[in-house]
Structure 1
Amino acid sequence: MPTDLINRDTSFLVVVDLQERLAPAIAEFDRVLASAMALVQAAEVMGVPVIFTEHCAAKVGPTVPTLLEAAPSAPVLHKTHFGTLEEMEHQKTFAEFSGRRPIVCGTETHVCVLQTLFGFLQHGFSPLLATDACGSRREADKATGIARMVNAGAEAVTTEMVIFEWLRRADNDLFRKVHPIIKAL
């Protein structure tokens, strides 16, 4: 397991299934969304690639629009498998990020996030899990999902950890651009 800080040049953000119709069922969804939004906004400012996934969008609805607006050029990968890497065409997309570390967040923690993260592990990635940007309907499912992913080899991080490690320093224009995002958390 890597022991270095998260580097914006060697990571990418995967936002799993933060979809409109699922939102009302997720415990503390507003907090989960705020954390995911901060990650997306900071990634956009710092040039970190962002990828969204949507699970059965015809039934569960699209990704929350404000997230898509924050990263308008980010691809949206549609899936029917719970784990995005079970989709063959998604494996090709993520192969382009070989050598980079995925930072994973989204819903539901114990289902689509877990199965996506396990897919990254199985494909040789060293994923990070932004725990405060993950949600489930029940807190027990979220906590158990996080514990299982960490036990399997993922590193648990928070939104602020990711952003500050991407930044590394506070005496430049990049920090001044990202500071309002951090303050809004």
Structure 2
Amino acid sequence: MLDPDNTGLIVVDVQGKLARLVDNSDELIVRCAALIDGAKVLGLPVVWLEQNPDKLGQTVEELHQRLSGSPPITKFGFNACEEPLFIKQIELSQKTSWLICGIEAHICVYQTALGLMENKYDVHVVSDCVSSRSEENKRLAIHTLSARGISITGLEMCLYELVQDCRSPAFRPILSLIK
């Protein structure tokens, strides 16, 4: 079970034109926004990444405005774990479980999830908050990650797992994000 005291969120490369080209892009951005808002309600640290932003562009405005508390971590490799600043931020958080959302599921999300697992983190890919240019590549990523031991969750599933109890002060704000 996810524990709000021990969980963080990683937002992977929801940037530029690519964010508008992935399968179900509008829904993806809305769901990622809800996940980010939910993480904030729960007090989870949020780490966000941008892949080669000079070429791909910045994080889409709908998410950028929610993430403005700290700057994005720029990366060039597909596996964010190869970026020392990313690893440093993950370690400083002292969280052992990480939710992952973003694009593309079969490239950067996939490689970062496996990199985190190799570094002994508990990784949960939020399946309805990831996408690729084709549905087939997203399905392949989810299937392969699951087969390799990465937990697959969904937006509602992970937020309610983190809330734990309808008497929690976070319950109503989370409920409003899901409706």
Matching residue of 1:93 = 89
Deviating beyond 6 angstroms after TM superposition, the runs of 4 or more aligned structure 1 residues are none
Instruction: Give CA-to-partner distance per residue, 1:91-127, whole Å, 9 cap, x none.
Output: 2222224452010111000000001111101111110
**Structure 1 unaligned residues grouped into runs of 5+:** none
Instruction: Please tell me whether residue 65 in structure 1 is matched to residue 40 in structure 2.
Output: no
Q: 2:22 aligns with which of 12, 26, 40?
A: 26
CA distance in 1, matches of 2:120, 2:168: 34
TM-score by length of 1: 0.91
What secondary structure is seen at the aligned counterpart in 1 of 2:101?
strand
State the percentage of identical aligned residues: 28
- Whichever residue aligns with residue 165 of structure 1, its letter is E
Please tell me whether residue 130 in structure 1 is matched to residue 134 in structure 2. no
Q: Distance in 2 between matches of 1:173 and 1:47?
A: 12
Whole-Å separation in 2 of the counterparts to 1:46 and 1:74: 17
1:181 and 2:174 are equivalent in the alignment: no
Q: Does 1:12 align with 2:5?
A: no
TM-score, normalised with respect to structure 2: 0.94
Contact in 2 for aligned 1:44/1:71 (Cα 8 Å): no
What's the offset of the Cα at 1:34? 1.5
**Match status 1:162 vs 2:162:** no
Contact 1:49–1:74 (8 Å) recurs in 2: no
| Contact 2:29–2:62 (8 Å) recurs in 1 | no
Q: What SS does the aligned partner of 1:14 have?
A: strand
**CA deviation after TM superposition for structure 1 residue 11, in Å:** 0.5
CA-atom RMSD in angstroms: 1.3
- Match of residue 103, structure 1, among 99, 106, 125: 99
Q: How many aligned positions are there?
A: 179
